[in-house]
Amino acid sequence: MYLSHNLIVEVLERFKHARKPAFRFFCWAGERPGFAHDSRTYNSMMTILAKTRQFETMVSLLEEMGVKELLTMETFTIAMKAFAAAKERKKAVGIFELMKKYKFKIGVETINCLLDSLGRAKLGKEAQVLFDRLKERFTPNLMTYTVLLNGWCRVKNLMEAARIWNGMIDQGLKPDVVAHNVMLEGLLRSRKKSDAIKLFHVMKAKGPCPNVRSYTIIIRDFCKQSSMESAVEYFDDMVDSGLQPDAAVYVSDHGFGTQSWIRFTNCSRRCKRRASSGWQNVQRVDQTDGE
């Protein structure tokens, strides 16, 4: 039987939710004469182990890759994100030590990746501690401050989020639309809707101009509160601004489903004209999620 690296990756992808058979296959393939795993196949197996929180085996594979000189930045990123998602802050930071061991350069992108992983795991405080510890060793960029901002917004700490925002500006960095969208979500998550609306209108007046994501954040919150007329008002404004609605406008994590869609389209003739294409987007997303 001829084994290729592409075949191994495809098989592992099929078994991504079945860690034991995936690992048995991975080990079996590694023992076949004439075949040797490369960085891609190792990282595919690492991803499966990371998602199933088999951390001991995952780190063992990482070190095995180090011996074979197959490590890539993706390898370390997989491990960092896995530990961060499991709220294993010390182990996530420990990946930096492994990077040093294998002589990988630790740059701003790497640090941003870890800070983002911690923030997404609602470990904003831990991300801030790590940043404070490392900030003398690298030059933070706009993304660094944005991921810190996101970490604090996710845990609804607007005081710290404001401090990061001001720190960003003090460093001569101008918050872009991504940073503004993070703050919009943070304000709404903390039930500061009036402040979120004010920020949105400041964006329209002074920039950066709201994008589809900005409008989606506002529309989604109005739909969540069943304020369909306000949702339609922002939908119409988005279209008037020359922005093309995408599926995310019609489908949200808060259940913008059939009933909300009916109420939404009943509020505006413009929405009715887009109902057919919009509902097709909804159906496509539902079909994708169901596959």
Contacts by residues 74-81 (CB-CB < 8 Å, ≥ 24 positions apart): 74/39, 74/43, 75/39, 75/42, 75/43, 75/46, 76/104, 76/110, 77/110, 77/113, 78/43, 78/46, 78/47, 78/50, 79/46, 79/50, 80/113, 80/114, 80/117, 81/50, 81/113, 81/117
| pLDDT band (50, 70, 90) for residue 129 | confident
- Domain that includes residue 131, residue range: 107-210
> Which of 210, 243, 273 is at the close of a domain?
210
pLDDT digits (tens, 9 = 90+) for 48-68: 999 999 999 999 999 999 999
Three-state DSSP class for residue 120: helix
CB atoms within 10 A of CB 183: 24
Would you say residue 276 has pLDDT above 80? no
The confidence score (pLDDT) of residue 1 equals: 65
Would you say residue 275 has pLDDT above 50? no
| pLDDT band (50, 70, 90) for residue 197 | very high
Which is higher by pLDDT, 116 or 184?
184
Total tally of structural domains belonging to the chain: 2
Would you say residue 282 has pLDDT above 50? no
Three-state DSSP class for residue 42: helix
| Mean of all residue pLDDT scores within the chain | 85
pLDDT digits (tens, 9 = 90+) for 216-241: 999 989 988 888 888 889 988 998 99
| pLDDT band (50, 70, 90) for residue 187 | very high
Are 94 and 123 contained in the same domain?
A: no
Residue recorded with tokens 């109902």: 275
The confidence score (pLDDT) of residue 261 equals: 52
CATH number at 86 reads: 1.25.40.10
The confidence score (pLDDT) of residue 279 equals: 43
- Residue at 195: amino acid letter: D
| pLDDT band (50, 70, 90) for residue 285 | very low
d(CA 32, CA 35): 6
Tokens representing 77 are 């990123």
Q: Under 8 Å CB-to-CB from 162, ≥6 apart: which residues?
A: none
Task: Please indicate, yes or no, if residue 198 is contained in any of the structural domains.
Answer: yes
Task: Please indicate, yes or no, if residue 279 is contained in any of the structural domains.
Answer: no
Task: Please indicate, yes or no, if residue 248 is contained in any of the structural domains.
Answer: no
Task: Please indicate, yes or no, if residue 71 is contained in any of the structural domains.
Answer: yes
Are 20 and 92 contained in the same domain?
A: yes
The confidence score (pLDDT) of residue 254 equals: 45
The confidence score (pLDDT) of residue 126 equals: 84
Which is higher by pLDDT, 276 or 9?
9
The confidence score (pLDDT) of residue 255 equals: 43
- Looking at residues 21-34, what average pLDDT do you find? 94
d(CA 133, CA 122): 19
Are 118 and 194 contained in the same domain?
A: yes
Among candidates 99, 121, 175, 123, which has minimal Cα distance to 144?
Answer: 175
Are 120 and 175 contained in the same domain?
A: yes
Which is higher by pLDDT, 156 or 289?
156
d(CA 112, CA 26): 31
> Which of 106, 138, 158 is at the close of a domain?
106
The confidence score (pLDDT) of residue 271 equals: 53
Cβ(119)–Cβ(91) below 8 Å: no
175 prior amide bond cis, ω within 30: no
Are 37 and 47 contained in the same domain?
A: yes
Cβ(34)–Cβ(67) below 8 Å: no
Are 86 and 124 contained in the same domain?
A: no
